[in-house]
Amino acid sequence: MSEKQTSSLPTYLWELFQRLRRRGFVVAPQDYEALRLALQAGFGLSSQVALRDLCAALWAKSLHEQETLFALFDQLAPIEEYWFLAGVNDESKNIAEPKQAGDSGKNSDNKSIDPKSNQPDQSEQEQPTVASSQGLPTIFLGDVKIAERPFVFEPQYPLTFRQVAQAWRRLRRPVRTGPSVELDIDSTIEKFCRLGVGSSVVLRPQRRNVARLLILMDRQGSMAPFHGFCDEVCEAIQRAGRFEDTELYYFHNIPAEGADETVLDLLEEPLFPSFDPILPQIQPLTEGDLYTDPDLLDWRPLETVLEKYAHGASVVIIGDAGAARRQYRGSRFLDMLSFFKGVRVYTPHYVWLNPLPQNYWEKSTAAYLSRHIPMFSLDREGMYQAVNVLRGQQFTIEKPI
C-alpha cells in the first residue's frame, strides 16, 4: 500500500471514530492520527479483520469497549473486496481488480467478475432468499449486507466503567513489600561513599498498593431499580481498582439490626427527633445478616465479615437509606448509627454512596444519616469526594458519631 493511499483514511473509519466518541470512548484526534501512522507502517492492511483488530488495539481499553467497536465496525465496513480503497476518494468506487495477462473479465477459476462490485457473478453464488407462503415472487437478499452484530446495546448509566475506575484507582496505600528488585540510588551512593571503592548496587522492594476494600450493598426492595447501575459500579471497582483485596457482600435494608431502643425514651420529639442528645448512649452493633450473592441466599454473620475483612480496610456502603421512598423510621435510623459505631471499632475509613441525588434525601433516613457519617451521591463528583475521605482528607460532618 502506497503512502498516498494511506495518507487519507476511508470515510467509514472517521464515522467509526465519531460514533465511538459519542459512546464515551476516551479517544482524541491524536488517536486517529495513530491509526493513520500504523497503516502507513504496514499494519492492518491484510484484511478487514486485521484493520478491525488494529482499531481495537488503538482505541478500545476494555473487553466491553472492544465488543462495541467490533459491532460498529461490522456495520460501517464496506463489502468491496478491495476494502481499504473504499471511501479514500470519489474515484475509489470505480477501481476494478487488476487483470493478469491473458485474462478477459474472468479470474483464475474462470468465474465471471462483476466490474461494479469486484465480486463473482451473483448467478453462480448461493443467494440468500426469503420464501413467500402467499404466492408472491421470491425475495432475493444477495445485495443486502447483514451484520453479525446488527445492534449495539449499551447501558446508559450516570457513570461509565472508565469513570469509576479512574476515581477508585486514586485510593492507594503504597508499601514496599516483596523481593528486593528495585534500584535504591541513594543507598547505593551512600554505600559507595562509605566504602570508597566500587561495590554492588543496593536493591529494595517495589511499592505495592496494599489498600483493601469492603463493599456492602443494599439489595432488593427500593434498591431494585438501581441493581444494574450498582452492579456496574461494583464490577468496575473490583476489576480496575487494583486493590490488594476487594470483598463484596449484600444486605437487605440495613446491615445490622437489634440496637437498644431504650435510649429513644430520652428523646422529647416523638415524630422526627434529633438523635444528637443521645449519640453518646448509642452502643456499637455488629449483629446482622450479610449475603455473598445478590439473591440473598448464602448467609454470613456481619460480625464475622467485619472481623475478617474490615480491620485496617476501607468500608463502602451502597444504598438509598430510605431516600427512594422518602421514608424515615427512628428504629432503623438507630440501627444504622449503632452499625457505624460498630464499624469504627475495626476501621475509621468508611463512606456511604447513595444512588439518588442529594435533593431526594429530604425527610428521609438518608438526610438524617448524612449529618453523622460521610454520605455522597453515587455520581462522579460524589465518588471522588468519597475516595478523598477514604484517603484521609478532611471532611466536615455536622455531628460525627
What are the tens digits of pLDDT across the range 39-76?
Answer: 988 888 888 888 999 999 999 987 878 888 888 888 88
Residue 103 pLDDT > 60, yes or no? Answer: no
Residue 305: name the closest of 242, 217, 388, 391 by CA.
217
* Polymer length in residues for the chain: 401
* 384 contact partners, CB below 8 Å, separation of at least 6: 167, 170
d(CA 216, CA 237) in angstroms, rounded, equals 13
- pLDDT at residue number 111: 44
Residue 105 pLDDT > 80, yes or no? Answer: no
* Rounded alpha-carbon distances, angstroms, from residue 65 to 18, 21, 71, 239, 382: 14, 11, 10, 15, 25
- pLDDT at residue number 149: 62
Residue 139 pLDDT > 70, yes or no? Answer: no
Alpha helices for 150-298 (secondary structure H)? 161-168, 185-195, 227-240
d(CA 277, CA 284) in angstroms, rounded, equals 17
How do residues 163-193 score in pLDDT, each as one tens digit? 898 899 999 888 888 888 889 899 888 888 8
Cβ of 242: how many Cβ atoms within 10 Å? 15
- pLDDT at residue number 3: 44
Which has the higher per-residue pLDDT, 371 or 89?
A: 371
- pLDDT at residue number 6: 44
d(CA 175, CA 210) in angstroms, rounded, equals 7
Residue 194 pLDDT > 70, yes or no? Answer: yes
Residue 4: name the closest of 53, 39, 51, 47 by CA.
39
Mean pLDDT taken over the chain: 80
Which has the higher per-residue pLDDT, 272 or 362?
A: 362
Sketch the domain layout of the chain as residue ranges. Answer: 3-90, 176-208, 212-390
How do residues 316-370 score in pLDDT, each as one tens digit? 999 998 888 888 888 888 899 999 999 999 999 999 999 999 999 988 889 989 9
Q: What are phi and psi of 258, to 5 degrees?
A: 105, 25
Q: What are phi and psi of 398, to 5 degrees?
A: -60, -45
Average pLDDT over residues 211-233: 92
- Percentage of the chain with pLDDT > 70? 78
292-295 long-range contacts, CB within 8 A, separation 24+: 292/249, 292/250, 293/250, 294/219, 294/227, 294/231, 294/250
pTM: 0.68
221 with 253: CB under 8 angstroms? yes
Nine-digit cell string for 231: 452492579
d(CA 148, CA 146) in angstroms, rounded, equals 7
- pLDDT at residue number 79: 66
